[in-house]
Amino acid sequence: MYNFRTDLAVERHDIYRKANKIENKIDGIDVEEQAIDDKLKVTRVKVTNENGEQAIGKPIGSYITVDVKDLKMADEEDIQKSAEILSKELVPLLDKHIDKQGEILVVGLGNLYVTPDSLGPKVINDIDVTRHLIKYVPQYVEEGTRMVSAVSPGVLGTTGIETMEILKGIVENVHPKLVIVIDALASRSIERISSTIQLSDTGIVPGAGVGNSRKEISQRTLGIPVIAMGIPTVVESAVLVNDCLDLFITKLQTQAKSNDYLNKLKEQDNYEEIKEALVPNDYNMIVTPKEIDDLIENMSSIVARGINMSL
């Protein structure tokens, strides 16, 4: 499979079309865009058959992307509006898999102490949990309230334990009917960093966004439906340079200043070579907007509110 270096279905779709010079619709992939206002956009990518699956390397299913523009400058109202749009997309996805009272476990992946990886744990801190109230003080809870619990299992590097091992243990003891997982994703666009949410019901491979792939979290591995909310939080620096080289050669070509070698080079994926050249041995370089702390803060408000509204 082509290495897209992005987990966003919408970006993969674009890259695939460009790389294969496809102008029409790809068989097996439906794309639908909806501009909510000048700040909010929803894109729905549906992978409908195996051809679509192979094209963009994503399992059959729905991939909904909510893009929030200028999130770093967002005020209270923008955040509330974005949370509402998110909730509007999340609710039908939940309804598809469980009934209105089905117990839900919300899982925030990531490392609280590494800013671009802290979104998951931050969201968990703001989820309105109800499970303990329903169990211990049912008299204070409105009838029909859904049981909600929330955990932030940490990351392999600081726990020594695979996230899946922790989650499996919790699911076996708590018996939720569905899991919502929040995680960092890889993206190819700086503008999407902490400004985009991808919703899907096909599971997640945690840590993919920060270059440490771990065991898949999905219905297949957990035994219950898994809804993933992925947020791009970094772009790898080798991806950035690779994209830039391509831009650069394209420019040479349009000016008729390229040559055979360069033309061929552009056809290849030079990611691995660039990575080797660029990255000092042990460093894990990332490209991030300077405003990442504010972006993470605002995005975690949107995700937490969006989930709370939906449950």
Chain residues 131-170 in contact with a copy of itself, contact rule CB under 8 A: 131-133, 147-154, 156-162, 165-166, 168-170
What strands, in cross-sheet order, belong to the sheet with 226-236?
29-35, 40-47, 61-68, 196-200, 226-236, 178-186, 104-108, 148-151
Stated as kind and residue range, the H or E segment containing 236 is strand 226-236
Picking from 106, 100, 39, 27, the residue whose alpha carbon sits closest to that of residue 67 is 39
Q: Which residue, 197 or 210, has its beta carbon nearer to a copy of itself?
A: 210
Q: How far is the CB of 222 from a copy of itself (least distance, A)?
A: 12
Cα separation, 200 vs 188, whole angstroms: 19
Chain residues 106-125 in contact with a copy of itself, contact rule CB under 8 A: 112-117, 124-125
Applying CB under 8 A, what is the total number of residues that bind a copy of itself? 76
Q: Which residue, 3 or 255, has its beta carbon nearer to a copy of itself?
A: 255
Examine residue 38 and tell whether it contacts a copy of itself (CB under 8 A): no
Examine residue 15 and tell whether it contacts a copy of itself (CB under 8 A): no
Asked if residues 7 and 229 have their Cβ atoms less than 8 Å apart, the reply is no
The SS3 of residue 282 is coil
Encode 2-33 in three state secondary structure: CCCCCCCHHHHHHHHHHHCCCCCCCCCEEEEE
Examine residue 277 and tell whether it contacts a copy of itself (CB under 8 A): yes
Chain residues 174-233 in contact with a copy of itself, contact rule CB under 8 A: 174, 190-191, 210-211
Chain residues 69-108 in contact with a copy of itself, contact rule CB under 8 A: 70, 76, 80
| From 14-22, 34-42, 91-99, 129-137, span contacting a copy of itself (CB under 8 A) | 129-137
Residue 217 DSSP one-character state: B
Q: How far is the CB of 166 from a copy of itself (least distance, A)?
A: 6
Q: Which residue, 99 or 276, has its beta carbon nearer to a copy of itself?
A: 276
Q: How far is the CB of 98 from a copy of itself (least distance, A)?
A: 17
Examine residue 286 and tell whether it contacts a copy of itself (CB under 8 A): yes
Examine residue 293 and tell whether it contacts a copy of itself (CB under 8 A): yes
Asked if residues 58 and 199 have their Cβ atoms less than 8 Å apart, the reply is no
Cross-strand bridge partners of residue 106: 150, 180
Picking from 303, 155, 162, the residue whose alpha carbon sits closest to that of residue 228 is 303
Chain residues 244-263 in contact with a copy of itself, contact rule CB under 8 A: 244-245, 247-248, 252, 255, 257, 259, 261-262
Asked if residues 286 and 115 have their Cβ atoms less than 8 Å apart, the reply is no
